[in-house]
Structure 1
Amino acid sequence: MKSESHPQPLLQTLPELTAPPAWRRLAFVSDLHLGPEAPVTTAGFLRWLRGEALAADALFILGDLFEAWVGDDLLDAAPPDAHHQVCAALAAYAASGHAVRVMHGNRDFLLQQGFARRCGAPLLPDPCVLVLAGQRILLTHGDALCISDAPYLQWRALCRSADWQARFLAQPLQARIEQAATMRAQSRAAQSRMDTWSDADPAEAARWLQAANSTWMIHGHTHRPREHWDHGQLRQVLSDWDLDAPAGGAAHRAQALWLHAGGTTLAAERRPAA
């Protein structure tokens, strides 16, 4: 049975980020799911950050940078692991003069200001509007657009509440790690049934665009990269990254969306990142 759709409330005025004039090349990625569980993908992202990503004036990570994030105190844990490597690489990237902005995803919604300070990567509100070259581009992770998945939206509202997060973060680090592993296993089981994996709702996306006074949206989450055109509105869905999947398979991919600003014009292109 199909779940009942529940449109999500939006703020009266969406937060806006106006791009500085120096931002002429912007790279967008999402759903990298980095961590010890994905060593090949993590290594690929670190290579990309030291290589092609250096051509970007600003890097936007629209959610699920990590497979899981159980609290910023993870960075104080020993021994260091893939989380520490990624954060150190982002800090070096930002220190070299490249702007980095990170949005929460459904896997790493517990990223907080400790992470942002360590990485030189301010957190973006979800959703928000990027003003670039005269365009208003609506940015979101994308999970709140999946309005047919009522159970997930109920869980999302719960885990984003201050009370739930305070209770979760009050637990010992190891207990949180174990709980996150259980939740990841449940999520992977749901994603393996692609016919039941909810997609972004086009009408809901159109409603968000109207509320944002925008005709252009960029989001991730669904792992279904493509361009959706509808009545003059463009919705670009970012690719997930999974270099740990068998080479040659449909799941084996890593891709970035690039925006090139020239005066009052914008050009978009997708590029393989690894």
Structure 2
Amino acid sequence: MILFISDLHLQAAEPETAQAFLEFLAGPARQARELWILGDLFELWTADDDLREAFPASIADALADLCRSGVAIRIVVGNRDFMLGKVFEARSGARIVPEPALLEFEGKRLVLLHGDAQCTDDVAYQRYRRRIRSPFIQALQRNLPYFVRRAIVRRIRQRSVMNRQKYGERKISDLNADAIAEVFRATGADIMIHGHTHQPACHTLAVDERECQRWVLADWHGKATWLEAGPEGLIARGG
């Protein structure tokens, strides 16, 4: 059995979701062969010395405990936690893999990704994404003093709260249809699994006269939710 989750946005300020995740790791995840986390495990991650703080360290240690039980953990980073790196891998036992990741299951090829790179209608975001993920900018961010990065994080969180109060919850744009089709063509996949949009669903589509499926994972709000690949196929659980 393989489990897929995404968009937990874990943070100390929301202990209900963190507790749901810990219970998930101690419960359903123990029955799996693999656990795939498809981005935004954390609300924000500036660099691996975030592990100095008790909350992210406790999450890494809980993942390590799951790894020791024999479950392989794979992470595809998201737009909030793309700075996860080797120190986090070493502490958690998880392996960070580049997207798109490919997986064979029951004679089908699965392509796994976070999903933000395919939101190509949001031109401004794609420009920002290319800039913020450049090796130069990432190296610069990693080399900022720890207290500076924490101050930046606090400012980002304050601005996020202010925007929610002013505009309400931001609706994330969906993936572009052409970008989706291009992923299917480039990978030869039959099934796509991703998160990011917080719009859980299973879509059937035709790509070059080939029937494909796109599964969108749900975000977490105090309750565990996951997609299970097992003997009965793909089934959405929890929520």
- TM-score, normalization by structure 1: 0.80
Structure 1: tracts of 5 or more residues without a match? 1-24, 244-252
Tell me if structure 1 keeps the 8 A contact 2:24–2:224: no
The residue that corresponds to 1:7 in the other structure is none
Tell me the residue number matched to 1:46.
22
Residue pair 1:141, 1:219 contacting (<8 A) in 2 also = yes
**Residue aligned with 1:269, SS:** strand
Give ranges in structure 2 of 5+ residues lacking alignment.
none
* 1:208 counterpart (168, 183, 201): 183
Distance 2:131 2:157 in 1: 17
Q: CA RMSD in A?
A: 1.7
Separation in 1, partners of 2:160, 2:177: 23
Q: Residue deviations 1:224-244, cap 9 Å, x none? A: 00011112111000000011x
Cα pair 1:34 1:82 within 8 Å, conserved: no
Contact 1:70 1:173 (8 Å CA) reproduced: no
Residue deviations 1:110-153 (CA, integer Å, cap 9, x gap): 00111111111010111121122321111100001111111111
- Residue 28 (structure 1) shift: 0.3
Matched residue, 1:272 = 238
Cα deviation for residue 180 of structure 1 reads: 2.3
Please point out which of 60, 66, 71 is paired with 2:47: 71
Q: Secondary structure at the match of 2:199?
A: coil
Partner of residue 158 from structure 1, selected from 109, 117, 131: 131
**1:181 aligned to 2:147?**
no
- Corresponding residue number in structure 2 for 1:146: 119
Secondary structure in 1 aligned to 2:78?
coil
One-letter amino acid matched to 1:35: Q
TM-score normalised by L of structure 2: 0.91
Amino acid at match of 2:178: A
Q: State how far apart, in whole Å, the 2-side matches of 1:237 and 1:217 are.
A: 8
What residue number does 2:227 align with?
A: 257
Q: Name whichever structure is richer in helix by fraction.
A: 2
- Find the aligned partners of 2:132 and 2:80 in 1 and give their Cα distance: 11
Equivalent residue in structure 1 for 2:55, among 71, 82, 88: 82
